[in-house]
Amino acid sequence: MEKIKIDNHAFVYPMPMVLAGSVVGGKPNFMAVGWVSRVNFKPPMIGIAIGPHYTNKGIDENGAFSVNVPGLELMEKTDYCGLVTGGKTDKATLFNVFYGDLRGAPLIGECPICMACKVYQAVSLPFNTLYIGEIVEAYTEERFLTDGKPDIKKINPFTLTMPDNNYWRVGDHAGRAWSIGKSLKSPS
């Protein structure tokens, strides 16, 4: 098939959607983030790339942030957190907030997976700041586990696509990772 060039402002498909949190002026604040990824194996680190937002103040002040994975039932609230700024709207009351040992990382009780992160490095890019944090605590609930591991079907998260701006459910199981490709190995 013939390849065509598209806008360089391109994306991966799909993007995970999380709620990133920080404490600004003593209050928890949250924003919707689709630019998020694990970035280091050991110690475990995660990166969030965010523009010049209200949330950044808290991350810079406390050297900490949280990454919370919302389930589908939080889609409206998550989207709302991406629409309004904490500078004008108090988002602290949207969720039941709890804390682990890291006081600058507000965790969301309604989210199946919550990670408290201590800033390791803030990479200043031309527009965004890529905050790289060490995951110092992670929380879930028994009901989201299968065989002791978080189960995506129980978490029931949703994903994002851009530039069309849509959310998507997670679909059926497709295969075992780091396994199904073995069929292509030549016999040795």
Window 52 to 111, contacts with its own copies (CB under 8 A): 67, 69, 72, 75-84, 98, 100, 107, 109
Please choose, out of 23-31, 55-63, 168-176, the segment that lies near its own copies by the rule CB under 8 A: 168-176
Please choose, out of 21-29, 57-65, 148-156, the segment that lies near its own copies by the rule CB under 8 A: 148-156
d(CA 93, CA 27): 10
Partners of 159 in the β-ladder: 16, 168
d(CA 15, CA 168): 10
In 3D space, the residue among 136, 135, 153 whose CA is nearest the CA of residue 144 turns out to be: 153
99, 107 contact by CB (below 8 A): yes
Token pair 């050297």 in the structure block, residue: 63
Q: Is 20 one of the binding residues for its own copies (CB under 8 A)?
A: no
Residue 26 vs 188, nearer CB to its own copies: 188
Cβ of residue 160: shortest distance to its own copies, in angstroms? 6
Q: Is 119 one of the binding residues for its own copies (CB under 8 A)?
A: no
Please choose, out of 23-31, 55-63, 170-178, the segment that lies near its own copies by the rule CB under 8 A: 170-178
Cβ of residue 72: shortest distance to its own copies, in angstroms? 6
Token pair 């003593």 in the structure block, residue: 26
